[in-house]
Amino acid sequence: MTINFLVMGAGAFGWGALSDRYGTRLVVSIGAVLLGLALVLASRVQSLLLFQLTYGVLVGLAASTFFAPMIALTTAWFDQQRSLAVSLVSAGMGVAPMTISPFARWLITTYDWRTAMLVVGSLAWVLLIPASFFVRQPPALAAGAAGASAATDGSIGSVREALRSRKFLVLASVFFLCCAAHSGPIFHMVSYAMACGIAPMAAVSIYSVEGLAGLGGRLLFGVAGDRYGAKRVLIAGLLVQAFAIGSYPFVRELGEFYFMAVIFGTAYGGVMPLYAVLARDYFSQSIMGTVLGAATMLSSLGMSAGPVVGGWIFDTYGSYSWLFFASFGLAAGAMAIAFTFPRARQPQLQPA
């Protein structure tokens, strides 16, 4: 997973820039083909090194074609209720743990991991390739008019200027710390629950509850972001996430795990789409794929730390407590930096 997220981060930057230049449909179509191919190949390999190359590198490269380009495209389609629109599109990430995780667990239990990966890879082809043909550019971008938006709405329209701006540095820092904070608890939650005596299938169901809560959190935070402002809602979500993470060392029973999964999933799922909404407030639509790709690259570095650091902590201390305490500190840091977000630009009305 660490290799996967490192590659995913680098890929997000490249694919985001390509989507700005050639359109999102082409990028997503390539990703759909590559994702299925990578999973099918990973199911057939016979060595750890080849598995790391196929699953870590190829799957990471394929997965990075979706988030930044699709979210950037969504921000272009909607001027009003943008937070809700972005949240609805990103809700797929909440549906996945709720559906695919139990299905994969069942396949592994009934057959083996190779069959599970082969089936999931085949489903990626069957579902994603046809779906990619429904992706369309907004009329303004299709007509090549997006580049003019920087001159009329006061947003930053140059990639060089954007990536060196204070706005991007704050955005990327908060995104990085937020993902670094919740990656360890997310990826080690099943192992932690099992270490507390929870049965494997029940432990996996905790992850599914997190996914379901994340789905609801995206919708809740999306509506709230449109009403109260993305910055305020993001800070509130980061606060809830920090206290949820800090509470896990004291959780032991299945009911407690379910309760915390609802709170934690709502918080970390709800804040994720808001980064794109804030980015659109600062940067021109013509460079949104590149900007979001760069921010996602840094956030993926944070996500990549969770699996390996969490595993090292458990192997060294025989407990996950220090993982949760460290993650709490990172989450608190993300919330503190979020207060420094610059004031969002105000749209300028133009004469008819």
Q: Is the pLDDT of residue 12 over 50?
A: yes
pLDDT at res. 145: 46
Burial 29-55 (b: 16+ CB within 10 A, else e): bbbbbbbbbbbbbbbebeeeeebebbb
What are the structure tokens assigned to 103, written together?
Answer: 């299905």
Q: Is the pLDDT of residue 349 over 60?
A: no
Q: Report pLDDT digits (tens) over 239-280.
A: 999 999 999 999 999 999 999 999 999 999 899 889 999 998
Task: Say how many C-beta atoms besides its own lie within 10 A of residue 8's C-beta.
Answer: 29
pLDDT at res. 143: 56
Q: Report pLDDT digits (tens) over 278-311.
A: 998 889 888 999 999 999 889 988 888 888 899 9
For residue 62, what are the contacts with CB-CB under 8 A and spacing of at least 6?
31, 34, 35, 37, 38
206 by DSSP, 3-state: which? helix
Mean pLDDT, residues 327-344 taken together: 91
Task: State residue 46 phi and psi, 5-degree precision.
Answer: -120, 5
Evaluate whether 311 touches 121 at the Cβ level (below 8 Å). no
For residue 159, what are the contacts with CB-CB under 8 A and spacing of at least 6?
17, 287, 290, 291
Full-model pTM = 0.79
For residue 129, what are the contacts with CB-CB under 8 A and spacing of at least 6?
29, 32, 33, 36
**Which domains, from first to last, does the chain contain?**
2-338 (1.20.1250.20)
Per cent of the chain over pLDDT 70 is: 93
Lowest mean pLDDT among 19-28, 41-50, 295-304: 295-304
**Residue 27: band (very low, low, confident or very high) from pLDDT cuts 50, 70, 90:** very high
